[in-house]
Structures are given as C-alpha cells and as structure tokens.
Amino acid sequence: MSGDDDIKDMVETVDVSPREAEIPEAPGADVFRQLLHQAVRVADMANSQAMRMALDFAKVYEREQGVRKEFENQLKQMTLMEKQATRYAEDLAGMLRSERERRQELERALAQERIASEELRRTGLQGISHLLLAATIKDRTTGTHLQRVRRYVEAIAQRLGLPEDLVEEFGYSSVMHDVGKIHTPDHILQSEHVLSDDEFSVIKQHCIDGEKMLGTARFFETARAIAREHHERWDGKGYPDGKKGEEISLAARIVSIADVFDALTSKRPYKEAWSAEAGLKAIEAGAGERFDPEIVAGFIALAGEGVLERISSEVAASEDEDHSGSSAK
Ligand SMILES: [Fe+2]
Ligand SMILES: [Fe+2]
C-alpha cells in the first residue's frame, strides 16, 4: 500500500506545481502527464491483480493446508490402526504359542500315562504268572492247559467280532479261572474217587475264593467274572450262583467251553486224553444246556477251519522249545 501512496504523491507533486506552472511548459509536458497517469492506472491494476492473486494463493494455500492436515490425521489414524493390528497379531501369536505349549504338555502327560499304564499292565501280568505257578502246581494241571485255554478263548472272541483290546483282555483273564484252587485242600483236589456232597461244596468254593483273590482293581474285572462264573451253565444248573443264559458274563461263557474242551482232550492223572472229535462232540452235545449255543457254533467252526488243532500244536511246540532251552542251560 505504501508503494501506492508514494506513486500518488509523486503524481500530485507533478500535478500541483504552481511554480512550475508559471514557468512556460516544456513541450511534451502533457504527454508526460498522460503517460504518468496511465502508468499510475497500470500500476493500480497490477496492484489489485497482485492482491487478487495473493488472496487466491492464500485460499489455495489454506485449502492445501487443510488437505495436508486431513492427510496427516489419516496417516496418524492409520499408524494407530497399524499399531493396534500389530498388537492383536502379537496377542494372537502369544495365544497360539501358549495353546501349543498346553497341547505339548498334554501330549507329554498322555505319553507318561501310557507308559505308567503299560508298566501297571506288566506288573499285573507278572503277578498273574506268580499266582498261576502256585495254582497249577497245586492243581496238578499244567501251564500248557492255561496257554491253550487262553489261545482258544482269544480265537473264539475274535470270531465273535470283539475288538482287539477285549480279545486280549479275555485271553489274559482266562488263565486265572482256577486261581481260587490255592485254597482247596489237596486231598479233595487230587481225589480220584467220586466226590461226596461235602467235598463238592468245598470244590465249589474255588470260584468264590478266586473272585476274592483278584481284589478290586479294574485290570482284574474280567478275570473276577471268569473266576466266579466259569462253572455256571447256560441252563442255570451250574455253580456257585446258578446264573443262567446271558446273566453269565460273555467272557465266562467263552472260557467254560475252552476249559472243558481242553480238560477233556488232555491227559490228567485220573484219565486219558480224549480225541479232539470226541471232545468236540461233548461240547456240541452241551449246546443250549451247559453252554451258550452261539459260542458252541463258533467253536465248532473254528475246529472245522483247523484253528484248534493249530493252536494245540503251537502250544506243544513252544513247550518243547522251553524244555530244550532250559536243559541247555
Ligand atoms: Fe474251575
Ligand atoms: Fe481249567
């Protein structure tokens, strides 16, 4: 603005110079004044143009500042969101990590439990073999009787379509069927004459004693049922409880067939061994009376397939091997 005033002052100075007006004007003074006025107008125009431009520029600048602020705000927001997302990702990773650690911990615990239960199983089986040794010595039966009964029982259970772990459980539980005979007096156990009623009631006690001896552990649950029920009959005329049909556990129904068949076809101090055919006939005759007819049918089928014979010769071979092994020592 001050530049503008200067120019005006300058023009006025030129305009109102009375002393100079008295002086005869130099030629071209009009033209000079005109030019001067024109120059002042042009300067005015230029000035206001410059003002407009400055205002425009200020507006643009302001707008740009606004946009920049907006942009900065958005940038700030984005940075914030990014930070948040990073935190979420870190949290998530942490959760996954601890989840993985928990799972590994669980797997370790499971593996340990497996080892412990395997250990327990082995201990249980070891206990069984000691018990059996005592029982078989007293009963004058042989270890091969128990081995054959176990293999027959497993073959029958498999044929009935039972799951593998149950087949195994029925097998190892079957060898304890007569474990209660440890309590039976020798003169009754080894008697070769027909037993009196009193003597027979003492014999019956071995089922009850056997169940008791096997305690309360889950591992012996099936063995307890077998010990108690292996002399029960399908028609309810067995002992010690007179249970009938499916009141008798499946394991005990299977064992009773395997046990009787092997007793018939083995040599005992008081009798010769029956042939397999004679033994099978006796079992077949007992179907529906002494034995569960369905299991008898399965047993007969196994015999037809040569499974019983194979088991019998395999057990005999393993016995020979044991004997030659022990004599070599
Ligand atoms: Fe028995
Ligand atoms: Fe037996």
Query: For every one of its 329 residues, what pLDDT tens digit does the chain have, with 9 covering 90 and above?
Result: 455 566 666 555 555 455 555 566 676 778 888 888 888 888 888 888 888 888 888 888 888 888 888 888 888 888 888 888 888 888 888 888 888 999 999 999 999 988 888 887 777 777 776 777 666 666 666 778 999 999 999 999 999 999 999 999 999 999 999 989 888 888 888 787 888 999 999 999 999 999 999 999 888 999 999 999 999 999 999 999 999 999 999 999 999 999 999 999 998 877 899 999 999 999 999 999 999 999 999 999 999 999 999 999 999 898 777 666 544 33
Can you tell me whether residue 287 is helix, strand or coil?
Answer: strand
Averaged pLDDT score across all residues of the chain: 86
φ, ψ for residue 300, nearest 5 deg = -60, -40
Distance 177 CA to ligand 1 centre (A): 6
Distance of CA 242 to the CA centre of its chain: 43
**DSSP assigned state of 291:** B
The pLDDT score that the predictor gives to residue 1 is 47
Point out the ligand nearest to the CA of residue 207. Answer: 1
> How far, in Å, CA of 24 to CA of 136, rounded?
164
Expressed in angstroms and rounded, the spacing between residue 180 Cα and the centre of ligand 1 is 8
**Cα-to-centroid distance, 12 and ligand 1 (Å):** 147
User: How many A from CA of 176 to the centre of ligand 2?
Assistant: 9
Burial call 181-209: b when 16+ CB within 10 Å, e when fewer: bbbbeeebbeeeeeeeeebeebbbbbbbb
What is the residue whose two structure tokens read 């005759």?
285
| Closest by Cα among 284, 307, 308, 314 to 296 | 284
Residues 6+ apart with CB under 8 A from 143: 132, 136, 319
Name, in order, each residue with C-beta under 8 angstroms of 44's C-beta and a sequence gap of 6 or more. Answer: 4
**Three-class DSSP category at 249:** coil
The answer to whether residues 159 and 298 touch, using CB atoms and an 8 Å cutoff, is yes
Three-point CA angle 277, 281, 283, nearest 5°: 115
Question: Could you count the other beta carbons within 10 Å of the beta carbon of residue 162?
Answer: 18
The token pair that represents 99 in the structure block: 């989840």
Q: Tell me phi and psi for residue 287, to 5 degrees.
A: -60, 130
| 124/137 Cα distance (integer angstroms) | 20
Residue 204 designated active-site: no
Catalytic residue among 8, 59, 138, 181: 181
d(CA 175, CA 317): 19
Residue 250: closest CA among 286, 282, 226: 226
Structure tokens at 221: 């649950």
- Terminal C-alpha separation, the chain: 129
Three-class DSSP category at 32: helix
What pLDDT score does 160 carry? 96
Q: For 9-65, what is each residue's pLDDT tens digit?
A: 655 555 545 555 556 667 677 888 888 888 888 888 888 888 888 888 888 888 888
Nearest bound ligand to CA 266? 2
- What is the model's pLDDT at position 189? 82
> pTM above the 0.75 mark?
no
